[in-house]
Structure 1
């Protein structure tokens, strides 16, 4: 699309994975959709993150025409959850759920490339290189102030879906963003061991900070939560010293650590809106909440946001119903609050050094592992939501 229209039924702001999924799903249901993205088309994505997508998320992207190449993704067959230095562990198995894999890992850049290919293939209307300067919500529609290719434009929409980083929520009535600074950083790198990749993801609550070790081709991607000072020190540490520190936390179940890739450090915060709508604007994905990465639930929660909003607006015969946003918020409340709360508790409770609490956590993991029905229900909620 070369110039903005005057009006569209649904404007989706943000062409990340969640925004693209919502736009494609709504378009497939016959709605008039306009996707708006600040970056130019065909921008090279330099984001180094690796994502852990649940079975449900992989299926959602596939249903929208976003295919993830097998040679650029890695199945997660099992998830091994343990605690350093104490008994007790839980093993979540794909076989228990009757699926080939609980999910997969894929680089963010690969997913974005496939999202853009799907937009082209399905001829979705996209305004690339377009900044949304302001969003106003009125009684019967929302109004957007745009800067497209250096020129100012006004656009109205029956509904606006915010799927960007959340800065546009600041001026919307009734919305407040609650933040919690964990005063932690995530250290991210790629590790190879004597043992090649086996499809198992490891969630380890180590004494020096919890970490996730995600299968990544024949290696693993490490996301280790540490204090900002520790994360920088680990980043600058020689390989031999780093290997000693990591093996002390993880053990030798994969053999000796053989290599370490480029290291990156990211600050960690929890951000969540007090409510996910304001008039004719609905917030999904990172616009609604950003989470700690320890349980790899952030994008998967955003995918379920996108599915819910596209189902609600896609099935509505008449979009001129202000209470559609209320229905969306009610539909997503339990899942969003439960997953955000669960992730937050993992960081704040499982990171506590108290021995009594550690023994209690070990007992809970052992009990969960010994009860197949409870373990299956827990796994189901992680990959499908509540």
Structure 2
């Protein structure tokens, strides 16, 4: 074991988008960069190569603008409209940016591009970053938390001390320890980039099928596909060649964007809810580390960035247990509302239950009622405020 260091007000375990956004906001709001420590198992170069696509709400863009990470080096594709429908049933809803006097409802970008932009902000701010490094243990004391950290390149270990520790490393649902709210949806998300013969610029689609939601998010001249299906069908889809996969996708989605013509290599991830809003006196979790959600409605990262803004404001006033208690209280409503919303949608509208028959009528009613559509859009863009 190397020397013991007491050099942080806030140590952040996980330098993904939520972790780096928190570090950058803390520095912007007056916490000395030397008193902030980021720890992550991957190098920034490794994280920057992550090809996954992510959806950012308009509210998240505002947060990133405050941080200084917007616009990103690689342009994000704006979402002007969101088309929500149920396969094989009457009824749909169309949410449009013009109804809200906004430049966009949201944006689609690569995870790696967002990490690159945030990494540059943290580097300019002079925030201490330990990567690649792994947190082996946390020992919470009365006045601090001691972290045992191992450099994964050299194997050297050392102890760090921080007034507050923030868990920001979530991981995948099937790799996580169970939290107080846990539900296995028995669904797998198939992820790919696809092209079609008649794309509709800046329009995103959320289409509910008997197996789960199918989302197409505009990204450049392609779509980012998130297709949620039962695990056994996911295995079938993964075994298909590209031509057969595109045909299956067309059968599930329909012809609103023409014929699907190309697909990138596919990835598959199990889906579930795993959430726990609790914190200890000196540790707290944010983002995916606090609440792993079903991707329906695309709220995971956006909810995490809302966590970041509140926590940064409070910790800038003092890295104390009292501030963590305030954070837990202030974030309770938005977190619980978003968890309930995504959990309900995943359970009710992702199978052949009798409630599915009501979905078409519900979508038609929402589309006809401007206030209802506005409430749904506000929730997706800004959360519960």
Same fold judged by TM-score > 0.5? yes
Tell me by how many angstroms 1:271 deviates. 0.9
Residues 70-219 of structure 1: matches in 2 within 5 Å? 71-148=74-151, 149-165=154-170, 176-219=179-222
Structure 1 gaps of 5+ residues are none
Instruction: Determine the structure 2 residue equivalent to 1:302.
Output: 304
SS of corresponding position for 1:293: coil
Q: Do the aligned residues in 2 keep the contact of 1:33 with 1:125 (CA within 8 Å)?
A: yes
- Give how far 1:236 is off: 2.1
Aligned-residue offset at 1:68:
3.9
Gaps of 5+ in 2: none
Q: CA deviation at 1:197?
A: 4.4
Distance change in 2, residues 1:108/1:4 (3 Å): farther
**Residues 281, 242 of structure 1: alpha-carbon distance in 2 compared, 3 angstrom cutoff:** same
SS of corresponding position for 2:127: coil
* Secondary structure class of the residue paired with 2:89: coil
User: Residue in 2 aligned with 1:53?
Assistant: 56
Tell me if the contact between 1:197 and 1:216 (Cα under 8 Å) persists in the aligned partners.
Answer: no
| Structure 1 position 196, deviation (Å) | 3.2
Counterpart in the other structure of 2:347:
348
Describe the superposition over 1:59-117 as per-residue Cα deviations: whole angstroms up to 9, x where unpaired. 21121111343754211111100001111111111111111111110011111111211
Does the aligned pair in 2 maintain the 1:45–1:109 contact within 8 Å? yes
CA contact (8 A) 1:191 1:221 kept: yes
Q: 2:355 is paired with a residue of what secondary structure?
A: helix
Q: Structure 1 residues 380 and 41, CA, compared in 2 at 3 Å: closer, same or farther?
A: closer
What per-residue deviation string (whole Å, max 9, x for no partner) do you get for residues 213-260 of structure 1? Answer: 110111111111111121121122234433332222222111122222
Q: By how many angstroms is 1:176 displaced?
A: 4.5
Q: CA RMSD in A?
A: 2.3
SS of equivalent to 1:48: coil
Name the SS of the counterpart of 1:150 in structure 2.
coil
State the match for 1:338 in structure 2. Answer: 337
Q: Which stretches of structure 1, 4 residues or longer, exceed 4 Å deviation after superposition? A: none
Picking from 357, 360, 368, the partner of 1:362 is: 360
TM-score, normalised to structure 2's length? 0.91
Count of matched residue positions in the alignment of Structure 1 and Structure 2: 374
Residue pair 2:163, 2:282 contacting (<8 A) in 1 also: yes
Q: Deviations over 1:29-68 (max 9, x none)?
A: 1113222222234335443310000011122112111134
Relative to structure 1, is the Cα distance of residues 139 and 52 closer, same or farther in structure 2, using a 3 angstrom cutoff? same
